[in-house]
Structure 1
Amino acid sequence: MGTVNGLPAHVLLVHAVVVLLPLSALLLVLTAVWPAARARLAGTNALLALAVVALVPVTTSAGEWLERRVPSTALLHDHTELGDTAIFYAIPLAVLAVLVWWRQREATGSGTGNRTYLAPGSTAVTRVLVALAVIVAGAGMYGIYRIGDSGARASWTGNFSTTARNDGPHD
């Protein structure tokens, strides 16, 4: 993917990933920990997390397109290497979001008949899912922070002044 309305698609798509992946991570922890949130938001978060999994390769592909059109720097190299890891944060979030949602379905009996596969009444399984959710969500948020920070550094290092211009009325 190249450009959208004259701008590199990557600079637009990256904002979606930077917002939606941490949102999905927070919702994962919330739905894993809190039964009322699970009942209301687990399905929505499963869809959101799956959308992020689909969005990450589109964003990294657009980033690779952009990488071939800007000057190569060490900061850009660091960013592209880190950017390639985003999918490894998105997939575990999506898998756990789907598991939390499916377990909720089994707990309420909606669409599963009498069979249960994920032990919806088991406290031990719930604790394991909560622990995994916290670990995966934390890793995902930290990973996306590192990727975004490296992209900002690649884009802005040496491209602005810490001293304000004095060329007119500005606040």
Structure 2
Amino acid sequence: MSTIDGLPAHILLVHAIVVLLPLNALLLAVSAIWRQARRRLAGANALLAVVVVTLVPITTDAGEWLERRVPRTDLLRAHTELGDTALFVALPVAVLALVVWWRQRENAIATQPAESDVDGPTAGGTATMARTAVRRRTFLAPASKTVTTVIAVLAVLAAGAACYQVYRIGDSGAQASWQGKFSSEPAPRGGH
């Protein structure tokens, strides 16, 4: 994908990454730390993480296409080198978002009561259903506070690194695009 409606695709796609990757990182940190948020946000954030990880190489590829069509400068070179690191911060966020979602899913399934057979008639003559917790196999230790803490710490670190790197990449792109190309004084308006 090189252009969208006549504009370089990179300048449009980059806005999705600048918004969605930090949002994904923030939701990861919140859902890793806060149990109620995890119940509500983990699934949606895991889906968002897959979208972001898919968009990053598409955006990078569009940026490489654009790079071959503009004058080479040191600022552009710095931006493209930083842009190549975006996937390295998006992947840990995505992996951890999937881990948080999977653990939430395992926890919900593991603690879900299951109906057993009818116990038989009671003193009043009606049958009762016994509800017992069924132990199911889990893979990511959803009940372990230690594992939850480790994942939360990793999530906060990955989220912070992703947000910082997105800032660095975006700033270098803005410098490459705009440095020396505007005036601090308003341009004179014609006709008046």
User: What TM-score, normalized by structure 2, do the two folds share?
Assistant: 0.85
Offset of residue 168 of structure 1: 5.9
- Partner of 1:98 in structure 2? 98
1:29-68 equivalence runs, <5 A: 29-68=29-68
Q: Greater strand share, 1 or 2?
A: 2
Identity %: 64
Offset of residue 166 of structure 1: 3.2
Which of 141, 144, 147 in structure 2 is aligned with 1:122? 144
- Partner of 2:160 in structure 1? 138
Unmatched 5+ residue regions in structure 1? none
Q: What code does the residue aligned with 2:178 have?
A: W
Larger Rg: 2
Counterparts of 1:168 and 1:97, CA distance in 2:
54
Q: Deviations over 1:55-103 (max 9, x none)?
A: 0000000000000000000000000000000000110000000000000
Counterparts of 1:105 and 1:168, CA distance in 2:
63
Offset of residue 164 of structure 1: 1.1
User: What TM-score, normalized by structure 1, do the two folds share?
Assistant: 0.95
Q: What code does the residue aligned with 1:153 have?
A: Q
Counterparts of 1:73 and 1:106, CA distance in 2:
51
Q: Deviations over 1:94-114 (max 9, x none)?
A: 000000000000110079x81
CA RMSD in angstroms, aligned pairs only: 1.5
- Partner of 1:147 in structure 2? 169
Q: What code does the residue aligned with 2:157 have?
A: I
Give aligned pairs, total.
168
Which of 154, 166, 169 in structure 1 is aligned with 2:188? 166
Q: What code does the residue aligned with 2:60 have?
A: T
Counterparts of 1:137 and 1:168, CA distance in 2:
48
Q: Greater helix share, 1 or 2?
A: 1
